[in-house]
Structure 1
Amino acid sequence: MKLNAAQLTRQLKDTLAPVYVISGDEPLLGGEAADQIRAACRLDGSEERLVFHVDRSFDWGQLHDTSHSLSLFAQKRLVELRVPGGKPGDEGAKAIIAWLDSPPPDTTLLVSLPKLDGSTQRTKWAKALTEHTNSRFIQIWPVDAQQLPGWMRERLAAVGITPSADALDLLSTRVEGNLLAAAQEIQKLTLHCDAGQLDLQTVQRVVADSARFDVFSLVDTMLMGQAEQALRILQGLRGEGVEAPVVLWALAREIRSLASMAHDLQQHIPLERVFASQRPPVWDKRKSVLGQALQRHPKPAWDAWLQAAQRVDEQIKGQRPGSPWDGLAAIVLVVAGIRLPLLATTAH
């Protein structure tokens, strides 16, 4: 069964479903949906939480063993299955379908997926996740430029802030396309609004747009193969206090998009048609940058760098050792064309 975000909130007030699936490429909204499910599970008595990260070496027998074992510490538990590549393979597909057909008692499964492409949506396991009576499938859609002012107004209202029309326009412009940055700026504005009113002058004073444009400058510099300059921009962002999740969001979004384009090119679809099929379509001024990057690197490289981005995400969340800024630097350099020992074997 498919649910939107509002339907998920209502459904979680009823009996928990055996399986929840979150699919999409918008990290803020996907993370908030997952947090709602986790909170509902805790309220329902789940005290044990198991998290599985699916990569090429993942043993799907772990999922089978979990479904056939009793909880060690509590009667109820939450099991999270994170599939950043979006394709579990034959063994994983069988394991997911088996869980759906016979979910273990007192256990909630939360599956996290990126946005699924058309061919993946037609697979048996993906159809099962969207249609099975034991599953609740939440598709996370990005907030486009036309929807952003309304989205911002709702988020501001939730923290007791009423913006003027020009303040809302400027705020939407300065955070457009980056909901993580938008959420951070709204938190900041709660400290600067008198009597809950937000005017243009406050936005101009509090919300800086330089970091946003620098992040996108980082992406384009990286894609143009300017490794040294890209690394300087990355270091500058860190020095200015830009959070690592904001940088990762920009890099991962671009790499994921290019991985999809590289897949289409492998199917012998002309480049112009690939650009036109994107949502939104690629702007003319960016076609040269993206075209050069697609010529420089084959599809397996983009897929490998998505995995690298997932590892950085785990470092940011404290789930993996290491510095996320080092991981970001490695991604920037290898996409720009510098061969690195840990990533070079997957890039060519």
Structure 2
Amino acid sequence: MKIRPTELAQALTKKIPTYIWVSGNEEALLLESSKVARDNLRTAGFTQREVFFVDNGFDWKKFYNAAQNLSLFSEKKILELRFSSAKFDEKIKSALSENIKYQDPNVIFLLTSPRVEPQVLKTKWYTSIESTGLLVQIWPLKKDEFYTWLKSNLIKHNIKFTKEAVLVLGERVEGNLLAASQEIQKLALLNENDQDFICDEETVLDSVTSNSQYSVYAAVDSALEGASTRSQLMLHKLQAEGIPPLLIVNAIARELRALLPMLDLCEKGAPISSAMETAKVWRSRQNIIRAALTRLTPSKVWLLLEKAKVIDHAIKGINNRDPWTQLSFIFITLCQ
């Protein structure tokens, strides 16, 4: 069944499906809906989770084993499949179709992917998933929806705000939800230290201006543009300011995943402008994305996503790599 992101929480209180598939090209909204799903499933007793990153070389045997071995221990577990591309080969189609037959109340499959192409929506394997699960389709926000989203997130962080503050914040981040989330987190810190805090226009301007030059999203944008020297300076500044490397690697991964569907279209002969239109790239970001699409290839993007995974593991202590050295490598490679 297809539902809106805003309907997901209520739908999960009525019935827990075998499949939950969240798809779309707006990473911030994708993460939000995925978190809603996980939080509600956790409340329902699904306290265990295993995450699989699916690419062309994915070992489906590991996934099958994880699914089939659960019943031996009577655990309630989420098996999360994260697709970096919405280009599904025969192995993926076969695996997903086969898992529809696998009915275990202790197992939930949570899928996340970029936007699923219209022609895929009509295929037999996809409609069979639709009949047994919840399909959450995420679309880029229109201007009025974007401002509603801003207000909602300010309220979630218990921030009192003026109408002018919301308008200024929206103008400054230019529709970039990741940038907006970052600014709201900064405002939330001010709110924690002052019970009488009210976010007004001046507060937003001070917050955005104080860190705009070397902010996470500005640094990533410089790398996407191919500005090697500038992006490295910004990265060093972020490190000196104590910005968590996880924020940076998440921002990079978000942009890289958003580029993949557009690069696939370009490889098929579509003009860059057409690929950006299909992906609904904001006008204010088109020059940046155009520069990246002109320079990058799908194979390079996949390589950088793998490197981002290494950084994520380093931050979590899974390996002994230095996150900042690895981030510098990503920035350099992204600019080439």
Q: Smaller-chain TM-score range? A: 0.7 to 0.9
**TM-superposition CA deviations, 1:186-227 (whole Å, max 9, x none):** 42242255446433344445x233534434543453245442
Q: State the shift of 1:313 in Å.
A: 4.5
**Alpha carbons 1:63, 1:95 under 8 Å: kept:** no
Q: State how far apart, in whole Å, the 2-side matches of 1:210 and 1:257 are.
A: 28
Letter in 2 for 1:267: K
Match of 2:170 among 164, 172, 195: 172
Q: State the shift of 1:153 in Å.
A: 1.8
How many residue pairs get aligned? The number is 332
Deviates more, 1:104-113 or 1:183-192: 183-192
Indicate the structure with greater helix content. Answer: 2
Q: State how far apart, in whole Å, the 2-side matches of 1:198 and 1:279 are.
A: 31
**Alpha carbons 1:85, 1:307 under 8 Å: kept:** no
Distance verdict in 2 for CA 1:330–1:103, change over 3 Å: farther
Q: State the shift of 1:89 in Å.
A: 2.9
Q: State the shift of 1:8 in Å.
A: 0.7
Letter in 2 for 1:40: N
- Aligned partner of 1:305 in structure 2 is 304
Q: State how far apart, in whole Å, the 2-side matches of 1:122 and 1:308 are.
A: 35
- Aligned partner of 2:60 in structure 1 is 60
- Aligned partner of 2:85 in structure 1 is 85
Q: List gaps (5 residues or longer) in structure 1.
A: 338-348
Q: State the shift of 1:31 in Å.
A: 2.9
- Aligned partner of 1:51 in structure 2 is 51
Alignment of 1:79-118 (within 5 A): 79-118=79-118
Deviates more, 1:163-172 or 1:218-227: 218-227
**Alpha carbons 1:167, 1:199 under 8 Å: kept:** yes
Alignment of 1:318-329 (within 5 A): 322-329=321-328
Equivalent residue of 1:46, what SS? coil
**Alpha carbons 2:85, 2:261 under 8 Å: kept:** no
Q: State how far apart, in whole Å, the 2-side matches of 1:294 and 1:198 are.
A: 38
**Alpha carbons 2:219, 2:231 under 8 Å: kept:** yes
Q: State how far apart, in whole Å, the 2-side matches of 1:213 and 1:118 are.
A: 39
Q: State how far apart, in whole Å, the 1-side matches of 2:253 and 2:78 are.
A: 27
Q: State how far apart, in whole Å, the 2-side matches of 1:260 and 1:73 are.
A: 39
Q: Is 1:265 aligned to 2:266, yes or no?
A: yes
Distance verdict in 2 for CA 1:113–1:325, change over 3 Å: farther
Q: Is 1:163 aligned to 2:161, yes or no?
A: yes
Q: State the shift of 1:152 in Å.
A: 2.1
- Aligned partner of 1:343 in structure 2 is none
Deviates more, 1:94-103 or 1:242-251: 242-251
**Alpha carbons 2:84, 2:114 under 8 Å: kept:** yes
**Alpha carbons 1:48, 1:74 under 8 Å: kept:** no
The alignment's TM-score, normalised by the length of structure 2, stands at 0.82
- Aligned partner of 1:229 in structure 2 is 230
**TM-superposition CA deviations, 1:23-63 (whole Å, max 9, x none):** 23444433333233223333323343333232343221233
Q: State the shift of 1:98 in Å.
A: 1.1
Q: State how far apart, in whole Å, the 1-side matches of 2:221 and 2:19 are.
A: 39
Q: List gaps (5 residues or longer) in structure 2.
A: none
Q: State the shift of 1:10 in Å.
A: 0.5
Q: State how far apart, in whole Å, the 1-side matches of 2:275 and 2:42 are.
A: 44
Q: Is 1:279 aligned to 2:277, yes or no?
A: no
Distance verdict in 2 for CA 1:107–1:247, change over 3 Å: same
Equivalent residue of 2:71, what SS? coil
Alignment of 1:1-348 (within 5 A): 1-118=1-118, 121=121, 124-129=124-129, 131-132=130-131, 134-176=132-174, 177=176, 178=178, 179-195=180-196, 197-205=198-206, 207-214=207-214, 215-280=216-281, 282=283, 287=287, 290-313=289-312, 315-316=314-315, 322-337=321-336
**Alpha carbons 1:47, 1:77 under 8 Å: kept:** yes
Distance verdict in 2 for CA 1:307–1:89, change over 3 Å: farther
Alpha-carbon RMSD across the aligned residues, in angstroms, is 3.2
Equivalent residue of 1:147, what SS? helix
Percentage of identical aligned residues:
26
Distance verdict in 2 for CA 1:28–1:5, change over 3 Å: same
Equivalent residue of 2:269, what SS? coil
Q: State the shift of 1:117 in Å.
A: 4.2
